[in-house]
Amino acid sequence: MQPIKAILFDLDDTLWPIAPVIMQAENLLFAWLQEHAPEVARRHSIDALRQKRMALLKSDPRHALDLTALRHNVLREAFEESGEELDRVERAMAVFIKARNTVAPFDDVHPVLTSLKPHVLLGSVSNGPADLEAIGMAHYFSFSIAAHSFGRGKPDPAIFHAACEQLGVAPAEAAYVGDDPALDVEGAQKAGLHGIWLDRSGTDTRRNLPGHIQPDVVCTSLHDVQSWFLERNGLARKSGAR
């Protein structure tokens, strides 16, 4: 059985929950708008700005590759409509981006990544705009790639292949861990990687998977991912890991 030389990770909802982060970031941004661009806040609620983003995304799906640019474009349009000074758009975005990168990793993230790092190459492949340097987690990963900088996103095989190439491994020597069955599991498998579904709900939801998607492994925590890797590579007994 071919050993695993690299493990790649999704970020949002795999290493940290993203919904509360976005909610907090949007609340902080709106509070900033109320103080520094009050006409924007008066004319556009948080929900109204969200609807504008969804409409622009629907009209031009290419924006899905860069959600930060999507948000920037909609915010600039709101400033223009409200007659507020456009030079404040960048300041407003800085407020959002800082909050967007203020995440709370799941409890298993730091211990498992710390434990895995000496044994296997670690990388990340994400469709989102998370900044691992700002978050303080870049040191875990030998290589990270995001859709907005690469120009293609999951499930396109190209983004998985680019990560493997940068890490110097064949796709068959890599595993990808993510929470989304279609983007993460199926996407990785079609690119030739092992697809690991991280189902943090802790329930037996395999039956809810689309019939054509069969993960190589189903895990409920990163500890399970670590155990699978150690056992597959014959390291479990040496490390004493469960």
Q: Once rounded to an integer, what is the mean pLDDT over residues 115-136?
A: 97
Averaged pLDDT of the chain: 94
pLDDT for 166 = 97
**What local confidence, expressed as pLDDT, does residue 1 receive?**
80
- 122: nearest Cα among 143, 149, 147: 143
Amino acid at 92: A
pLDDT tens track for 17-53: 999 999 999 999 999 999 999 999 999 999 999 999 9
Please tell me the least confidently modeled range out of 36-45, 184-193, 208-217: 208-217
Measured torsion, CA atoms of residues 16, 20, 25, 26, in degrees rounded to the nearest 10: 140
Q: Rounded CA gap, 61 and 58, in Å? A: 6
pLDDT of residue 211: 82
Residue 242, pLDDT score? 37
pLDDT tens digits along 47-91: 999 999 999 999 998 889 999 999 999 999 999 999 999 999 999
What is the pLDDT averaged over residues 121-130? Answer: 97
Q: Contacts for 78-86 with beta carbons within 8 Å, 24 or more apart? A: 78/40, 78/43, 78/44, 78/49, 78/52, 79/37, 79/40, 81/43, 81/44, 82/37, 82/39, 82/40, 82/42, 82/43, 82/44, 83/39, 84/37, 84/39, 84/40, 85/37
pLDDT, greater one: 51 or 207 = 51
- In the structure, what pLDDT confidence band is assigned to residue 238 with cuts at 50, 70 and 90? low
178 pLDDT band (50/70/90 cuts)? very high
Residue 207 confidence (pLDDT): 57
Q: What is the pLDDT of residue 240?
A: 41
Distance between CA atoms of residues 61 and 152, nearest Å: 12
Question: What mean pLDDT comes out for the span 127-143?
Answer: 97
Selection from 164, 151, 227 nearest residue 191 by Cα: 164
Give the range among 6-10, 191-195, 211-215 with minimum mean pLDDT: 211-215
The mean pLDDT of 194-201, rounded to a whole number, is: 94
Which residue, among 204, 200, 143, has the nearest Cα to 12 in the 3D structure?
Answer: 200
| Residue 86: C-alpha distances to residues 36, 45, 73, 96, 162 (Å) | 12, 18, 11, 16, 37
The domains found in the chain, sorted by start residue, are 6-17+105-239 (3.40.50.1000), 19-100 (1.20.120.1600)
Query: What does the pLDDT average to over 143-172?
Result: 97
pLDDT at residue 175 tops 90? yes
